[in-house]
Amino acid sequence: MEPLLILTNLPDVASAEKLAHALIEHRAAACVNVLAACRSIYRWEGAVETAVEIPLLIKTTRAAYPLVEEIVRVHHPYDVPELIATPITYGLPAYLDWLAAETDKHE
């Protein structure tokens, strides 16, 4: 089992919670943290933009990543949503076992 931490941002709490629930209901993730709003500054279509966004931290596995991506594509309102995955190198063994069990249909 290869655990992953995936990051994405959404424009509002409602869409963030909708996506988080979809990920959990489909067992694509073991846990999704909906964080407090942050300010994002980025370049989009040639202009510098500033937006208030809601970050999500998605805990899942490498095997479940394709389903996470599919669900994000369906539920995310942005044309090009941020979706960045990084390996979880270390963690409390009991937590990582739980993460694996909650996404086990993908192993």
Mean pLDDT of 53-71: 98
Structure confidence at residue 107 (pLDDT): 47
């979809």: which residue's tokens? Answer: 22
CA distances 48 to 37, 61, 90, Å, are 19, 34, 36
Q: What is the pTM of this model?
A: 0.93
Compute the mean pLDDT over every residue in the chain, rounded to the nearest whole number.
96
Q: Domains, the chain, ranges and CATH?
A: 3-106 (3.30.70.120)
Is it the case that residue 20 has pLDDT exceeding 50?
yes
pLDDT of 70-105, one tens digit each?
Answer: 999 999 999 999 999 999 999 999 999 999 999 987
